[in-house]
């Protein structure tokens, strides 16, 4: 079939959009198997089926569409909205996560220069803001598993990328939980391994600070995690082989840092996304656009 054009829908594609609105996953699955349906077809506003499903909060429908090859970064919408933006507007953290995990670009902006996190913050969906601002893709971490420039070895051994990514994506920042994540993976129970992971976290932190749109939340999280891993490494070096006896009374500063970091991260996460959203009168246009575009 031809490439999708705005408003150029077959009867079957029109039916698919109706089925998505109704939330009938079984019927949607049947229609997606039709040769008359393009999974990235566009309605008159430039919304794809995935955008419709994300905005309406249909998680199972989003999963189905992604399985059929839906383009999570389609930017044909008349106001530049993406599926991630619609997910954030819906207030559904599971769908927001799903879009991110599928490769959604967090720094994409709409016609008035707003990112998905800023759009979510503007309508008060702060849980989605937190999910977006704390997300760190495995692809970004894998960059450090390959030698760069004149390096003979990568900064992070590939086999340790998975365990480290699990720690990065943890939403529980209690130091006890972080230590448990280290203990459960033999690949991290090594002083040298922990030091390499710590250095990578500090590099990511530095990168977050130096990038054009500084991500204070992620930078703070990376620095905090690096401090906990440093403590684990120091303890392993002293005790040689175990973290079982690690006394958190000896790292009271980590608990205090946790309280300060968690509160500050939540505050920064919202503030970071709200800053530009409330900076001028264009935000009123954003809200009215959202209503008019998604009303149907």
User: What is the DSSP annotation of 204-271?
Assistant: HHHHHHHSSS--HHHHHHHHHHHHHHHHHHHHHHHHSS--TT--TTTTHHHHHHHHHHHHHHHHHHHH
Q: What is the DSSP letter of 159?
A: G
Domain locations in the chain?
11-133+277-294, 138-250
Q: What is the mean pLDDT of the chain?
A: 84
Q: What is the mean predicted confidence (pLDDT) over 188-202?
A: 94
User: 93 or 134: which carries more pLDDT confidence?
Assistant: 93
CA distance 208 to 194: 21
- Confidence grade of residue 52 (pLDDT, cut at 50, 70, 90): very high
- What average pLDDT does the segment 263-276 reach? 53
pLDDT digits (tens, 9 = 90+) for 196-244: 999 999 999 998 888 766 778 888 899 999 999 998 998 888 876 567 6
CA distance 175 to 225: 9
Cβ proximity of 173 and 258 under 8 Å: yes
Cβ neighbours of residue 255 closer than 8 Å, sequence gap 6 or more: 175, 248
269 pLDDT more than 60: no
* 287 confidence band (pLDDT: 50, 70, 90): very low
CATH 3.40.30.10 for the 11-133+277-294 domain, yes or no: no
Q: Provide the pLDDT confidence category of residue 174 given band limits of 50, 70 and 90.
A: confident
């Amino acid at each position: 079939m031809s490439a999708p054009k705005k408003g150029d829908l077959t009867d079957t594609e029109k039916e698919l959009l109706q089925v998505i609105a109704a939330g009938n996953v079984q019927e949607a699955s049947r229609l997606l198997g039709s040769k008359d349906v393009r999974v990235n077809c566009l309605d008159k506003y430039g919304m794809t089926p995935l955008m419709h499903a994300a905005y309406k909060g249909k998680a199972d429908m989003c999963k189905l569409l992604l399985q059929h090859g839906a383009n999570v970064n389609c930017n044909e919408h008349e106001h530049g909205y993406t599926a991630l933006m619609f997910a954030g507007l819906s207030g559904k953290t599971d769908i927001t996560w799903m879009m991110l995990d599928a490769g959604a670009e967090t720094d994409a902006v709409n016609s008035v220069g707003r990112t998905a996190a800023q759009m979510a913050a503007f309508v008060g969906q702060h849980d989605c803001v937190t999910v977006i601002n704390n997300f760190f893709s495995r692809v970004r971490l894998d960059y450090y598993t390959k030698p760069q420039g004149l390096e003979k070895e990568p900064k992070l051994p590939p086999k340790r990328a998975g365990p480290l990514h699990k720690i990065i994506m943890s939403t529980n920042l209690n130091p006890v939980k972080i230590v448990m994540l280290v203990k459960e993976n033999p690949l991290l129970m090594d002083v040298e391994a922990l030091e390499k992971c710590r250095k990578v976290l500090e590099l990511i932190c530095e990168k977050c600070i130096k990038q054009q749109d500084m991500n204070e939340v992620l930078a703070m999280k990376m620095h905090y995690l690096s401090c906990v891993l440093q403590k684990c490494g120091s303890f392993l070096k002293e005790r040689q082989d175990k973290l079982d006896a690690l006394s958190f009374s000896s790292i009271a500063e980590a608990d205090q840092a946790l309280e300060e970091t968690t509160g500050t991260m939540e505050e920064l996460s919202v503030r970071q996304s709200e800053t530009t959203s409330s900076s001028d009168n264009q935000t009123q246009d954003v809200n009215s656009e959202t209503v008019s575009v998604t009303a149907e």
